[in-house]
Amino acid sequence: MAATLDVTFTGLRFENPFLLSSAPPTESESNILRAFDAGWGGVVTKTIGLHPVVNVDGPKTKFLRATPDAPHLSMKRRPGMALHSSWNWELISDKPLDWWVPHITRIKQAHPTKVLVASIMAGSGSDEELRHWQTLATACQSAGADALELNLSCPHMDRQDMGSNIGKDQAQISIVTKIVKEVAKVPVWAKLTPSTTDIVVEARGAFLGGADAVVSSNTFPSLTLIDPETLEFEMNVDGYTSSGGLGGPAILPQSLAKMAQLTQAFPDRAFSGIGGISEFAHALNYFVLGCGTVQVCTAAMLDHAIGPNVIKGLKEDMLAFMEKRGFSTLEDFRGIRRDRVVTHSKIRRPDDKAYHGGHDAEGYALPATPETGH
Ligand SMILES: Cc1cc2nc3c(=O)[nH]c(=O)nc-3n(C[C@H](O)[C@H](O)[C@H](O)COP(=O)(O)O)c2cc1C
């Protein structure tokens, strides 16, 4: 059988498992239409909210680059530099829900077979705020959105009841997911923050609330570097900066570590992987850990704003990989390396010596037993 890129994820059919994530590439109708024309299987809109949004006075995203053969990292462009990461302190969409609703309808009419996911965000500090989630969800699904992605992960919200601040709270995640599920007729995905001690706890909250999938990662909290010449942060307004979000190549291994935890804890659940993907070799990591789709932001921003070359490469290289290995669909290799991520003490020692994770063999504490009581 010839290889196909078709996948079914949370009950939705995608012509390929590659989506543009919620970010500048998906902030306008023209961008989303171009993205579908370029071949992306799905698109997650820039996050839509009901609260007023005013962005910082200056650039909202920049790119940190490394100099080959020198330990130099800077946002200033120099010849021959390689991308290290993106850094953003952009808030959610500054376009109101009333702007998005007719545009979602038009996009779906133009591309009925492509998957359009609406990313939404509200607060959680009051019943009224929780109802905002329902208002956003019903408006977007009535307009034609195929699924909803709950933004529980924006890294730079001052409000304690929004974004990654609720994404660190299992109970809040459950409440928000459940509130949306009460009105949702389409699948609901929960996009979690990586800025948490044990992401499995938050994912459990999302699944308890009824989430159909968990999405990870949003950007990692981070600061821009100081310019040693000027002693100013490389991104600042009037000399001030704030915590922002790191994306791009630098977060690929970190995001994979989060995804490995998630897919091992919930092997039968649906996951969409994000973080540092610019070619199929990167996406493959997420697939073999168990993801059913992946999403891209930074690489697309740097490729004509919506990633026409990125999606071309992803599709071509995935097909070539599958044909070479005799795989017919993603299901043939999804999750095949999930169980190879083990605890440190399970990694073989030289001469078959056993290691007990720092317990009895080291002469320290014995492993907890009913007798020792610890
Ligand atoms: C400038 C910028 C704006 C973003 N805005 C949003 C957003 O509105 N909602 C959201 O869920 N994620 C947002 N993200 C996070 C991305 O969707 C994605 O999770 C993150 O950048 C990691 O993917 P990457 O390594 O491919 O960039 C934004 C990222 C960037 C760089």
Beta strands in the chain (DSSP E): 7-9, 12-14, 18-20, 42-44, 48-49, 61-66, 73-74, 82-88, 115-121, 147-152, 188-192, 213-216, 220-222, 244-247, 270-274, 293-296
Per-residue pLDDT tens over the stretch 211-269: 999 999 999 999 999 999 999 999 999 999 999 999 999 999 999 999 999 999 999 99
For the ranges 25-34, 73-82, 319-328, the lowest mean pLDDT is seen at 73-82
Residues taking part in catalysis: 154
Query: CB of 218 closer than 6 A to ligand 1?
Result: yes
- 274 C-beta closer than 6 A to ligand 1: yes
Distance, CA of 335 to CA of 267 (rounded, Å): 8
Residues in the chain, total? 374
Token match 């915590």: residue?
Answer: 243
Please choose from 199, 218, 302 the residue to mutate so as to test ligand 1's pocket, defined by most ligand atoms within 8 A of CB.
Answer: 218
Report pLDDT for 374. 46
Cβ–ligand 1 distance for 296 under 6 Å, the answer: yes
Q: What is the DSSP letter of 67?
A: -
Give the distance (Å) from ligand 1 centre to CA of residue 248. 9
The whole-chain average pLDDT of the chain stands at: 94
Q: Whose Cα sits closest to atom 6 in ligand 1?
A: 23
Using CA atoms, how far residue 114 sits from 24, 44, 271, 342, in Å, is 19, 11, 19, 37
**Any atom of ligand 1 within 6 Å of the Cβ of 278:** no
**How many CA atoms within 13 Å lie on the side-chain side of 95?**
16
Specify the pLDDT at position 351: 81
Interval 105-162: pLDDT, tens: 999 999 999 999 999 999 988 999 999 999 999 999 999 999 999 999 888 888 888 8
* Full-model pTM: 0.95
Give the pLDDT of residue 158.
85
Calculate how far, in angstroms, residue 23's C-alpha sits from the geometric centre of ligand 1.
Answer: 5
Q: Is the CB of 23 under 6 A from ligand 1?
A: yes
Query: How many angstroms does the Cα of residue 20 sit away from the middle of ligand 1?
Result: 10
User: Which atom belonging to ligand 1 lies closest to the Cα atom of 22?
Assistant: 17
Mutational test site, ligand 1, from 18, 19, 21, max ligand atoms within 8 Å of CB: 21
- Of 354, 356, 353, the closest CA to residue 367 belongs to 356
Contact 251 CB / ligand 1 (< 6 Å): yes
154 Cα–ligand 1 center, Å:
8
Cβ contacts of 294 within 8 Å, gap of 6 or more: 17, 18, 19, 272, 273, 274, 277, 283, 286, 287
Q: How far is ligand 1, taken at its centre, from the CA of residue 21, in Å?
A: 7
- The CA distance from 364 to 226, in Å, is 43
pLDDT digits (tens, 9 = 90+) for 146-159: 999 999 988 888 88
Does residue 39 line the site of ligand 1, with CB under 6 A? Answer: no
State the pLDDT at residue 371: 54
What would the two tokens of residue 205 be? 């909250």
